Structure 1
Amino acid sequence: YKSECKRLPQKDENGIDTYDHSNCSAPVHAVIGMAGFTLDGFSSGISEFGYLRGYATKKEMKLELVNADTRKVEDRFHITK
């Protein structure tokens, strides 16, 4: 909007992306994964598989993308109400 993205995340004290949804009435969508579809000609960094682990309260939702092979948390973010 007017050359400024209003929905960029802020980093919390742990460096985790946090999306403040308190002043927005639109739904939030988080898209991850490719349902097992493999890509040709891409680096191995984008062809890893995993699952989304989440915890939600009435005020926030915390989500983590976990690598299926290593069980390492590859990415995490928060959405606040």
Structure 2
Amino acid sequence: MVSEWVTKNRFDPEYLPVIEKKLFFEGEEKKRSITNYVVLLTLATIIATYGVISGSTATVIGAMIIAPLMTPIMAVTLAMILGRGLA
């Protein structure tokens, strides 16, 4: 079952520029993307703090959903795979 899924879902190199554009913020979009990231992370921090203080697990989970942490994690993973950032 797993080998069947892997053979059907192979990576297509022609999509690499599209993936890089979505994960690596460069050029004109860098400032806007970083601003959005900081705003969302700040809101998530405030909501999570309120959830911890009030003892509400659901509020903390909601803050984790708002937090924009998945994009940087995926960007670091892709950079490691591609060897970016190495001298």
Compute the TM-score of the two structures, normalised by the length of structure 2. Answer: 0.24
Structure with max Cα Rg: 2
Q: Which has the higher contact order (CA 8 A, sep 6+)?
A: 1
Q: Which structure features the higher share of strand residues?
A: 1
Compute the TM-score of the two structures, normalised by the length of structure 1. Answer: 0.25
Q: Which structure features the higher share of helix residues?
A: 2
